[in-house]
Structure 1
Amino acid sequence: MTGGGCRVGHWPLRASRMVIALAVIVSVMLACADVRAQSHTGAVGEAGAGSDVAALAEQMGPLSAEERAALLARVTDAQARELLIHYLTRDAPAAAQAPVSTSASVIARVKAMAGQVGESLRRVAAAAPDAMVAYGRVLQERLDVTFGAGGGLLIVGSLLLLCVAGALTEWLARRALEPILRANRQGPCATARDQFLRTVIWLVAELVALLAFAGGYVAAFVAAWHGNPARRDFVLAVLVAILITRVAVALTRFVFAPKSPDWRLMPVDDEAAAHFVRGARQLAVFGSLLLLGSMFGHAWGMGHDEWRFVALVSGLLFAAAALAFLLSFQRHARRAVEAALGSETVPRWAGGVAGWFWHLLAVLYVIAAFLIGSVSVLLDQPFDPVAAVLGFVVLFVLYPYLNTLFGRMIAPLGPAGEVAAPGPTYDAQFMAEIGESEDEGAINAAISSAALRAADRRSLQADRRVLRRIVAIATFVACVLLFGVVIGVDLFGDTSAHPVASFLIRVLVDVGLVGLVAYAVWSFASAWIDRKLAEEHAKMPPEEHDDIGPAMQGGTRLQTVLPLIRKTLAVTILLLALLVSLDALGVNIVPLIAGAGVIGLAIGFGSQTLVKDIISGLFFLMDDAFRIGEYIESGNVSGTVERFNLRSLSLRGYLGAVYTVPYGAIGAVTNYSRDWVIMKLRFRVPYDTDLDKVRKIFKKIGQEMLEDPELGPNFLQPFKSQGVVKMDDSAFIVSGKFMTKPNKQWAVRKAVYEKVQRAFRENGIAFAPKRVIVEVPAENHFEEDDDLPRKPALTGGAATAVVAEGG
């Protein structure tokens, strides 16, 4: 794929390399078989002659009905009688035995299986020296050629001619498809849908060219075929191997687009994409040849033990090649997984862990598939290696690709997964709104509008991230189901030929569905709560605190209750998902629920204080005694409510200290932030002050402050005089009061003090200092023996009295 398509001038070179490699390996296999066949003189005698009955029965196992009849025709009467007795003895029901426990039965079955595997291994090892001889003999008999007389060269030359015929038809097809591919290369690639469409068109064209190759190959063979069924099967099997290899390479290039970065959906660089395609090509060629050789031996009547040896060696070689591929490309694979998840979906550390985990699972899958296949071959149980390879592709290639594709098509996050930055974005719309205006109101309105747009973008991208995670979980469940179908597991039947695999896949599907539903419910509920909290926050006026007094601006009741509801909902969903997942694993959850009830009862009796705190907190919330952001006082503790939890609340004191108060210890609550606040101010004036004049001054100040554009909206009642509320030895105590909204009284009080001071100075009214009158007798009244220093002591006592009264 170059620039969006495959260049016509390059494909014959790649195809010729692949065909030459196939021909060389087939020639080597045939030559080895020829050498081993010529080193052993004497053909195979009567089938089964000189072998025991068990070996003869083992040899008949994989044969068809016609082949069994031909084999029985060549045995003696004594051998036939012993063979019948062998089958009757083997199929006879076992003698009645005492019932055994399930664990003992499992152990016995494992021991029996291990014994059978060991016995089969001994037979395979004994047949290993003659495996290549048997393989060469079968090929010569079926293909009706003699390798030593140039038969191998004849086969290889015929295959090359057929491949040349197929290549010619493929070249004609590619020439016809070139206008379509040229138009496809010039198509847009701005979105994930465009990229997918470009690669699909290229893949369809590639498959059409491969069909043309197959058509030319088959047409050339039909033209030269002389009616030998074995040669027909051999030629068609080689064609299937070529097609499997080239389709695998085409699909890999479709996924990674090594030479078309603009078309690439998978988040890998050019180097990694080229490595993946190259490794997939090598594995496909090697695996197809191994599968071809094993298939010929099994289909053409090769000895059973010899065929099992060939199958085991082929599986070992392919597993080793696959592990070498995974180990050599582990860095690229981990980077691809981390980039596929992306920081917008999971944290960076989780992406790194997922990359290592993906690679570990891939290695374990290859090892497990090899072990299961080897045991299946040794126990004569069915095993499909092609299904195992397709299962690997589904889990480790198709799932990341579909996850990336659906995620980018359904919930795109923008270029490179960009996330809107916090705060307003001063974009072109913002600049157009303010223009060259210097009006502060217009600029503030534009800033508010930009902030709202930024908040909408952040909310939209948060919803998209949630949707991408839901898509990832749903895609995983679908791929697990597809994996079960590919490997032939009956997920919905009562019985299955692979009970362990069926159980594991069912568990993965059930847990995945539970996780999908739980995460979807939690995500949408949490998003709704966040949206409601944002709406409630937008309804509140901006906080204007002058740091004169404690902040007392409270939130709404929803702002107080919704965070608690979110925490409760999260715990509830987590517990329900855990219980349902345990039930899917086969764990009986009824005792767990009963045990949890007993434990809860015990905790209730043993932690009465905790229960008291929780119950008290519920009643405080029901009474709406306080909210987030309100200033309250309880006992000797006061502060702004910062947060709630299950058993306590946190208060931020005026000087910054944080108090954690259990609900059970709150008692009476004084809330200073609810509805309105009255503040009373007192002023000392001399006895000769005109009190009516003071009243008029206070009233005038109140009217002026009501008309103030900043302070006026804060008033609920204006500042006014309450007259003389107290007298002392030196002054009248005049009081004034006003009513404001919560948290607004401090700024109003500051302004009232300034205006009263200015008005008193303008009207010649002085503030009366505090005085204590002390009558001291004249000096001639003191006796000669009196202590004159008593006068300073009397003055100090008077000052102490003034301070005590002011305190």
Structure 2
Amino acid sequence: MLRILRTIAFSTLLSVFIAPLALAQSVAALTGSGSTDETAPVITPEDMTPEAIDAMVARMSDDQVRALLLERLDSVAAKADDVAPKATLGQRVTNLWNAFISPPIEVVQKFPRLIEMERLAFGNLLGHTGGFGGLLVLLGLIALVLVIGFAAEYIVRTFLARRVRQNADLSGEQTLRDALGFLMRRFLREIFGLVVFYIALRIAGRAILSPAMLTFAAPLVTYLIWMPRLAAAMSRFMLAPHRPDLRLVTIDDHWARFLHRNLVGLVFLAGFTMYIVGFNAAMGVPPGATRLGYMLDTMVYVFVAVIALTAREGLQAMMLGSDPDPTSFDQRVAHGYPYFAVAVAAGTWVLVTILLGMGKVDALLNGAHYYTMGLLLAMPIIDTAIRGVVRHVVPPMQGEGPVAEAAYKETKRSFVRIGRVIAAGVVLLLIAHAWDTNYLELFRQQAGIADNLFSFAMTCVFGYIAYEAASLWINRRLAAEQTALGLSQEDADAEMGGASGSRLSTVLPLMLLTARSAIIVVFGLLAIGNLGIDITPLLAGAGVIGLAIGFGAQKLVTDVVSGVFFLIDDAFRVGEYVEMDGTMGAVEKISIRSMQLRHHRGPVHTIPYGEIPKLTNYSRDWVIMKLKFTVPFDTDPNKVKKIFKKIGQDMLVDPLFADDFLQPFKSQGVFDIDDVGMVIRGKFMAKPGKQFMIRKEIYNKVKAAFAEAGIDFARREVRVAIPGLEHHDEMTDEEKAQVAAAGAAAAAASQQTEEVPGSGEGSKPGD
């Protein structure tokens, strides 16, 4: 049996394709001729007898038959391509234009027949129902079925209202959780009621109406009653037109109620359009006979444009939301949303018009165009919802100051951007499902320019999500590290640097730059590869360029490698005060090849890592500050020691300074004796960057304590001994002038002695 089937199939192929098989030698071999003479006659399939064909097929295997069949099919396909060449770009544009203008032209041509064809449809309806009396009976039965459905829904919703508390507290402003809880319970109750309504309609309809009546009644109830009610439930959930305290979007009562009414009306008009098309087709009127559906569909898009332009003030406020930190992008989106809605409506109308002109109406009958337009119009609203959710989901700001505030804002924006990308992907998948397009198949096939573009876009999307995720994680860790250090304006104004950052806060900026660069390079190459471009030459070229840069920029390589080893050794951190070869300052910023030092007087020094011979860090772990006080010779050192000890104990319990001390302020006794008085020194150990504020407070407290204890600070005095000065009253005016001149000369000499160069503001910490 298998041999007979193979013979029939092969004979049919030979007769249909008239294959010019120049296989004389093969045929002769299979038929047993065995001749290999070049002058032997060529045997074509037309000359072969059925017995010869049967003998040849009998000797061939299944693989040989399959290979021969595929060869002939490829040959026929190639000939078909030669006969019918592909259309050029200009021809495609012309075809699209003709398809676009044909429906409007048909509307003008067929409009005079509109009333006639609708009369025909109505007459056929009367014929199916048995006249006006039958139509009235049908409408009455439909009304009875609706009453049964509404009654069932009312009973269920009343029962749920008694079991579940639905009322929200009207006193005070509702939290987001309270508002969402109430609105979600109400929405689920309405949806459950609609489900009960639908089930009751089906049961009652099958019991009361005949199959012919159901054909008329089912679309009527679905498109004109059930769909508008579903849209009303969704609109009440988002807009809450009668509950401004529970409203999820930022819009006033007037525009909320306006949008609610018109959105329900818009869904009703779209449902009526779909119903009238199906009704005319069921009543014997061809879909393209009047183009009534196309005219009603156009009215839907006009309605969308009118709503968007009329309520543009409310839509702009709703899009902007209540975010206290809107970006310029958010403001542009809010301002342009009404015009975006008009553009979406116009674009959908153009798409529907072209599809009608090309005769592709299957997806339109299922409402894919309305579904697509609704999703596109909802994308900015979804964006507003994302920003609102992020505002409540993002953890509160950690710490205070500009660093913490900037980190908090950047975290919010990263979450918003990630949410936008995910929302856009979900919307595209839903639109593809509406038009019966499988994105996964496109991603797997990797064939054709459309598939390559899709793969390129998806790679860019995943790369962007990875980029934002890495930035979000590193920025959050960096903000946590910086705010945990208690960085403040006082630290920035410190004489020689503020509190030092942690090792992680120093390395994280470089990690962020490295991660972003790596993600851009890797996903960029993958995206280019998905376009069908071979990236091997790019990789080879990058290697050659890197080698050339390595040889031509050895100094740059030295700086980078030196910086890596400095970071590994943890030689410095952001905020620490360091000195390198006479250049001093607080580490303000680090990069891959250099660091920036901010001197306490303001100048900024940029120093490559490769030029650092040695580095001295004055802010690592702890700082000892030694203070000198000069008191008169007759001062009791033990009394001063007790005063210093009391000041140190008082500051240890002061909440402003308690956490900054490592060792309390105490006296070190008499350090030196000079010609003015005794030099008594005190010291304390503190955290780096905190010593300057502590020093100022200690000076104030020592001054107050000395004044309270009757201790004066020693001052330099000049005593001039002049013989005979005890008889000052008996001196002549010339002698008094000489004495005054001697006193002035002594004072000048004393002033010159005090102006000895010493340590100033530029001295090193701890001197």
Instruction: Give the shorter-chain TM-score range.
Output: 0.5 to 0.7
In structure 2, the partner of 1:201 is 189
Q: Kindly indicate whether residue 253 of structure 2 is the aligned counterpart of residue 276 of structure 1.
A: no
Q: Secondary structure at the match of 2:436?
A: coil
- CA shift, 1:282, in A, is 2.1
What CA distance in whole angstroms lies between the structure 2 residues aligned with 1:719 and 1:220?
107
Query: Corresponding residue for 2:468?
Result: 519
**For residues 662 and 706 of structure 1, do their structure 2 counterparts lie closer, same or farther at Cα, with a shift above 3 Å needed?**
farther
Give 2:600's aligned amino acid. Y
Looking at structure 1, the residues matched to 265 and 705 of structure 2 have their Cα atoms a distance apart, in angstroms, of 93
Match of 2:342 in 1: 363
Contact 1:650/1:661 (8 A) holds in 2: yes
State which of 275, 287, 291 in structure 1 corresponds to 2:274. 291
Per-residue deviation at 1:354? 2.6
Q: 1:335 aligns with which of 297, 310, 317?
A: 317
Give the CA deviation at 1:253: 3.5
What CA distance in whole angstroms lies between the structure 2 residues aligned with 1:176 and 1:765?
A: 98
Q: Deviations over 1:612-632 (max 9, x none)?
A: 554544444334333333333
After TM superposition, the structure 1 stretch with the greater mean CA deviation from structure 2, 277-286 or 235-244, is: 235-244
Q: CA deviation at 1:194?
A: 3.7
Q: Which residue of the partner structure matches residue 654 of structure 1?
A: 600
Q: Secondary structure, in 3 states, of the residue corresponding to 1:527? A: helix
State how far apart, in whole Å, the 1-side matches of 2:507 and 2:494 are. 30
Measured in 1, the distance between the counterparts of 2:295 and 2:643 equals: 100
CA shift digits 1:212-259 (9 cap, x unpaired): 45665665543xx8xxx5x66344433333233444344433443323
Residue 360 of structure 2 corresponds to residue 381 of structure 1: yes
Q: Distance in 2 between matches of 1:765 and 1:312?
A: 103
CA deviation vs aligned residue, 1:272-330 (integer Å, no higher than 9, x gap)? 332222212222232223223323444555457536x4454343333323333333333
Distance in 1 of aligned mates of 2:292 and 2:331: 40
Q: 1:719 to 1:204 in 2, by over 3 A?
A: same
CA pair 351-665 structure 1, distance change in 2 beyond 3 A = same
CA distance in 2, matches of 1:263, 1:365: 30
**Contact persistence 2:579–2:616 (CA under 8 A):** yes
Q: Percent identity?
A: 20
SS of equivalent to 2:241: coil
Counterpart of 2:435 in structure 1 is 487
Gaps of 5+ in 1: 1-91, 425-454, 772-790
Deviation of residue 200 (structure 1)?
1.0
CA deviation profile, 1:609-663 (whole Å, cap 9, x unmatched): 6655545444443343333333333455433333334454443433344444454
> Which residue, out of 627, 630, 643, partners 2:576?
630
One-letter code aligned to 2:435? I
Q: Which residue of 2 aligns with 1:354?
A: 333
Q: Is the 8 A contact 1:131 1:310 kept in 2?
A: no
* 1:395/1:480 contact within 8 Å kept: no
- Corresponding residue of 1:430: none
For 2:480 and 2:151, the matched residues in 1 are separated by: 61
Question: Equivalents in 2 of 1:534, 1:466: separation in Å?
Answer: 19
Residue pairs, 1:363-512, within 5 angstroms: 363-385=342-364, 386-397=367-378, 400=381, 404=385, 408=389, 413=392, 473-494=421-442, 511-512=460-461
Q: Write the distance in 2 (CA, Å) between the matches of 1:140 and 1:762.
A: 115
| Counterpart AA for 2:597 | L
- SS of the equivalent of 1:347 reads coil
Judge conservation of contact 1:394–1:479 (CA < 8 Å) in 2. Answer: yes
Distance in 1 of aligned mates of 2:618 and 2:719: 31
Greater alpha carbon shift after TM alignment, 247-256 vs 742-751:
742-751
Selected match of 2:159 from 180, 190, 196: 180
Q: Are the aligned partners of 1:338 and 1:355 in contact in 2 as well (CA < 8 Å)?
A: yes
User: Structure 2: how far apart are the matches of 1:718 and 1:115?
Assistant: 96
Shift of 1:471: 5.3
Distance 1:698 1:403, change over 3 A: same
| Partner Cα separation in structure 1 for residue 363 and residue 642 of structure 2 | 94
Provide closer, same or farther for how the CA distance between residues 517 and 731 of structure 1 changes in structure 2, counting only shifts above 3 A. closer
Residues 701-729 of structure 1 show CA distances to partners (whole Å, capped at 9, x for unaligned) of: 668646632679646996356779xx9xx
Q: Deviations over 1:29-74 (max 9, x none)?
A: xxxxxxxxxxxxxxxxxxxxxxxxxxxxxxxxxxxxxxxxxxxxxx
CA contact (8 A) 2:166 2:182 kept: no
- Contact residue 715 and residue 740 of structure 1 kept, 8 A: yes
CA distance 1:592–1:303, change in 2 (3 Å) = same
Q: Tell me, yes or no, if the aligned pair for 1:196 and 1:265 is still in contact at 8 Å.
A: no
Q: Is the 8 A contact 2:386 2:416 kept in 1?
A: no
C-alpha distance in 2, partners of 1:764/1:172?
98
Return the alpha-carbon distance in structure 2 between the equivalents of residues 197 and 214 of structure 1.
26
Given that residues 268 and 335 in structure 1 are in contact (C-alpha distance below 8 angstroms), is that contact kept between their aligned partners in structure 2?
yes
Conserved in 2, the CA contact under 8 Å of 1:165 and 1:217? no
- How far apart are 1:474 and its partner, in Å? 3.7
The AA in structure 2 aligned to 1:654 is H
Secondary structure at 1:632 match in 2: strand
* 1:75-94 CA distance string (max 9 Å, x none): xxxxxxxxxxxxxxxxx989
Q: Is the 8 A contact 1:551 1:640 kept in 2?
A: yes
> For residue 165 of structure 1, what is the aligned residue in structure 2?
144
Counterpart-to-counterpart distance in 1, 2:556 and 2:630? 50
Q: Which of 296, 299, 303 is 1:321 aligned to?
A: 303
Deviation at 1:468, TM superposition (A): 6.9
Q: Is the 8 A contact 2:481 2:502 kept in 1?
A: no
Deviations 1:157-196 (A, max 9, x none): 4564344324432453355245336435644472523431
SS in 2 for 1:413: helix
Q: Tell me the distance in 1 between the aligned counterparts of 2:273 and 2:357.
A: 18
> Aligned residue for 1:786?
none
1:113 aligned partner: 95
- The whole-number CA distance in structure 2 between the counterparts of 1:248 and 1:732 is 92
- Describe the SS at the equivalent of 1:488: coil
**Is it true that 1:528 corresponds to 2:509 in the alignment?**
no
The AA in structure 1 aligned to 2:432 is: G
Checking the alignment, whether the CA contact within 8 Å between 2:644 and 2:702 is kept in structure 1 is no
Native 8 Å contact 1:330 1:359 kept in 2:
yes
Residues 1:292 and 1:748: Cα distance change in structure 2 (over 3 Å): closer
CA distance change for structure 1 residues 369 and 126 in 2, over 3 Å: closer, same or farther? closer
Q: Is the 8 A contact 2:629 2:679 kept in 1?
A: yes
Which one-letter code corresponds to 1:291 in the other structure?
M
- Please state how far the C-alpha of 1:201 moved relative to its aligned partner: 0.9
Query: How far off its partner does 1:379 sit?
Result: 1.7
Write the distance in 2 (CA, Å) between the matches of 1:651 and 1:580: 40
Q: Work out the CA distance in 2 between the residues paired with 1:766 and 1:262.
A: 73
CA contact (8 A) 2:630 2:680 kept: yes
For residues 546 and 628 of structure 1, the distance between their equivalents in structure 2, rounded to whole angstroms, comes to 12
Deviation of the 1:528 alpha carbon: 2.8
Structure 1 residues 174 and 610 mapped into 2: Cα distance closer, same or farther (>3 Å)? Answer: same
Q: Which amino acid aligns with 1:322?
A: V
Code of the residue aligned with 1:560 in structure 2: it is: T
- Distance change (3 Å), C-alpha of 1:95 and 1:650: closer
TM-score, structure 1 length as denominator? 0.61
Query: Gaps (5+ residues) in structure 2?
Result: 1-75, 170-177, 653-660, 721-740, 758-767
* Root-mean-square deviation over aligned CA pairs: 5.8
Distance 1:186 1:613, change over 3 A: same
Q: Give the aligned residue type for 1:641.
A: V
CA deviation after TM superposition for structure 1 residue 752, in Å = 12
In 2, are the aligned partners of 1:722 and 1:737 still within 8 Å (CA)?
A: no
Partner of 2:65: none
TM-score by length of 2: 0.64
Matched to 1:633, the amino acid is E
CA spacing shift, 1:347–1:376, aligned 2, 3 Å: same
The match for 1:806 is 756
